[in-house]
A and B are shown apart, each in its own frame.
Chain A
Amino acid sequence: MTASSRQLMVIGAGTMGRGISEVALRHGWRVHLVDPDAAQRQSAQASIEKGLTRAASPEMLDPEWRRRLTVSADWDGIEPSWVIEAVPETMALKGPLFTRLDQEFGPEVWLASNTSSIAVTEIQGVARNFPERIGGLHFFNPVPRMALVEVIAGMATKAPYVAAAVELIREWDKEPVVAPDRPGFLVNRVARPYYLEALRMVDDGIVSLETCDTIFEGVGFPMGPFRLMDLVGIDVNFAVTESVFTQTFYDARYRPHRLQQQKIRLGQLGRKSGRGFYRYD
């Protein structure tokens, strides 16, 4: 397959895939959103439409955007210039997917993983035909509103990839930061103490979680650590910590906390389940 200019293929129609698709559509790109789950595809289309029409004034939004979006279960016949993978955060899914992408698309097609914590070099390890055109594009949730995108170069990524990625992110009116391919990249790595120290303090009875949140919110953090974990999802936050912990060969700084694990076992995952550290019913 050969690449066509300003054509994006997004794999995975979950929250991140929808957000990335919405941003690309808003900037005039043709978007092919791929997801094997029919219900997910249907819900994603409605969500993208809602996002685009809500965020942009009618004169700002190209009325042709619907024609630039296709949603399908696979990518037969699609010739994108960029592919961004946004499937759940596990190598069991990402690994075989990148192996196939690497086999089916030529070296002129840039491949990116929207991973938040899996090493890009690990992905390159299963896509060895053209690993130099693979990197990470870590968008933040909610994608349409969050300005930052981490651009991650794996060990085999070449400079032209990084340059193309930075250009792409700027074209989408977002701010790229080139982050090293180390566990948690930049943002998720530096952020770990915000959650882990808070969990340790509360578990040790030094401060209540409500007071802890109030203290941080009182100095300008939009959400204290516990309210933020509830918003992100305690399971999601725990998974990132676990990934950083494992990839650093069990550095004690990143040891996941059992308070989170217990919440997950009880199904108290945060806002999405109606209860996390706080109740939302």
Chain B
Amino acid sequence: MTNAIWVMGKPSLQEVVQRHTDLPVTVSPEDTEGDVGLIIEPSLGPPDTKRKRLEQVATLYPGRWVLTASTTILLAKQQCWVADQIHLIGFDPWLMRIDANRLTIVTDEKIPATPLAHFHDWEWDPIRDSVGGVFARVIAPLVNEAIAYRELGLSDSEIDRAIRRGLNHPRGPLEWAQIFGLSEIGLLLEAMRQAFGESYLPHPEILRHMARGGVDWNA
């Protein structure tokens, strides 16, 4: 496979990424001998799992560029895991998932032209290396607030309608939760809690959802 883009583990991203590049986009290819131009590692955690995935990439594909989700684990920390074996650029996979026209990236230097030149129409906004990034940092707490209203007797559609009609948001908070998954939102909130404090504690319903799915930040 010559000069392809690989997306690790998220079939839902493949279609989105393919819309923005002429290179073939493959999900977790078995052909480990192929030539890959860019690897996208969109997982948010738990940290041990993410570390193992990046170390595996570093061993199998040294010297490659990797676009890695950096909204839960600082890019600086991920760089320590893989030393200089691979080149990392941080990004917010949620913006990619909803096919935003601008994506935020975290990088040590100026925007590295080579790996991002594979995409013909995405615009890249460099931001500082920080847990939550920009978009996810707002959306996860917004969902956390909204979830509480379920227990007060409001339906998801009532909550979403109120936010869309009252604030003109493009989607209601439970619609965001549907897209990203409550477990991912929980992972993000857990990461924010560790970075910024207890006020980001996920709502008990999110914690229950994570527990039922076997998702644990500390696993």
Report the bound CA distance from A95 to B39 in whole Å.
62
User: Which of B100, B125, B145, B161 is the one whose CB lies under 8 Å from A190?
Assistant: B145
Enumerate chain A residues within 8 angstroms of B162, measured Cβ to Cβ.
148, 150, 177, 179, 186-187, 190
Residues of A contacting B: mostly: mixed
Pairwise interchain contact A190-B173, C-beta atoms closer than 8 A: yes
**How many B residues touch A, CB cutoff 8 Å?**
40
Report the bound CA distance from A218 to B127 in whole Å.
16
Report the bound CA distance from A180 to B154 in whole Å.
9
Report the bound CA distance from A92 to B125 in whole Å.
46
Enumerate chain B residues within 8 angstroms of A193, measured Cβ to Cβ.
138, 141-142, 144-145
Pairwise interchain contact A219-B161, C-beta atoms closer than 8 A: no
Which of B40-48, B111-119, B163-171, B206-214 lies at the binding interface? B163-171
Residue of A nearest to B158 (CB): A177
Pairwise interchain contact B163-A190, C-beta atoms closer than 8 A: yes
**A247 in the interface, Cβ–Cβ < 8 Å?**
no
How distant is B140 from chain A, measured CB to nearest CB, in Å?
8
Enumerate chain A residues within 8 angstroms of B100, measured Cβ to Cβ.
215, 218-219
Pairwise interchain contact A207-B170, C-beta atoms closer than 8 A: no
**A212 in the interface, Cβ–Cβ < 8 Å?**
yes
**Which residues in chain A, 63-103, are within 8 Å of chain B measured between CB atoms?**
none
Which of A10-18, A27-35, A194-202 lies at the binding interface? A194-202
B150-165 vs A, Cβ < 8 Å mask (1 yes, 0 no): 0011100011011101
Pairwise interchain contact A197-B137, C-beta atoms closer than 8 A: yes
Pairwise interchain contact A146-B141, C-beta atoms closer than 8 A: no
Pairwise interchain contact A186-B154, C-beta atoms closer than 8 A: yes
User: Which of A177, A197, A205, A214 is the one whose CB lies under 8 Å from B138?
Assistant: A197
Pairwise interchain contact A186-B128, C-beta atoms closer than 8 A: no
Contact-residue bracket for chain A: 35 or more
Pairwise interchain contact A206-B134, C-beta atoms closer than 8 A: yes
Report the bound CA distance from A147 to B173 in whole Å.
18
Residue of B nearest to A214 (CB): B102
**Which residues in chain A, 133-178, are within 8 Å of chain B measured between CB atoms?**
140, 146-148, 150, 175, 177-178
Residue of B nearest to A182 (CB): B152
Pairwise interchain contact A147-B199, C-beta atoms closer than 8 A: no
Report the bound CA distance from A260 to B137 in whole Å.
19
Residue of B nearest to A225 (CB): B138
Given known contacts A193-B141, A220-B170, is B197 in contact with A252 (CB within 8 Å)?
Answer: yes
**A216 in the interface, Cβ–Cβ < 8 Å?**
yes
Enumerate chain A residues within 8 angstroms of B163, measured Cβ to Cβ.
187, 190-191
Enumerate chain A residues within 8 angstroms of B146, measured Cβ to Cβ.
190
**B4 in the interface, Cβ–Cβ < 8 Å?**
no
Report the bound CA distance from A191 to B162 in whole Å.
11
Pairwise interchain contact A201-B137, C-beta atoms closer than 8 A: yes
**B60 in the interface, Cβ–Cβ < 8 Å?**
no
Q: What is the interface of chain A, defined by CB distance below 8 A to chain B?
A: 140, 146-148, 150, 175, 177-180, 182, 186-187, 189-194, 197-198, 201, 204-207, 211-212, 214-216, 218-222, 225, 251-253
Those 5 A-B pairs whose CB atoms lie nearest each other, nearest first: A220-B170, A193-B141, A148-B165, A187-B166, A148-B166
17 new A-B contacts at CB < 8 Å, known A193-B145, A221-B170, A252-B199: A147-B165, A150-B162, A177-B161, A186-B149, A190-B142, A190-B149, A190-B159, A192-B145, A193-B141, A201-B137, A207-B128, A214-B102, A215-B100, A219-B95, A221-B169, A225-B138, A252-B198
Q: What is the interface of chain B, defined by CB distance below 8 A to chain A?
A: 95, 98, 100-102, 104, 125, 127-128, 130, 132, 134-135, 137-138, 141-142, 144-146, 149, 152-154, 158-159, 161-163, 165-171, 173, 197-199
Can you list 28 pairs linking A and B with CB atoms under 8 Å apart? A148-B161, A148-B162, A177-B161, A180-B149, A180-B152, A180-B154, A182-B152, A190-B142, A190-B145, A190-B149, A190-B159, A190-B173, A193-B145, A197-B141, A205-B128, A206-B130, A206-B134, A207-B128, A211-B127, A212-B134, A214-B102, A215-B95, A215-B100, A215-B125, A216-B135, A219-B170, A221-B170, A252-B197
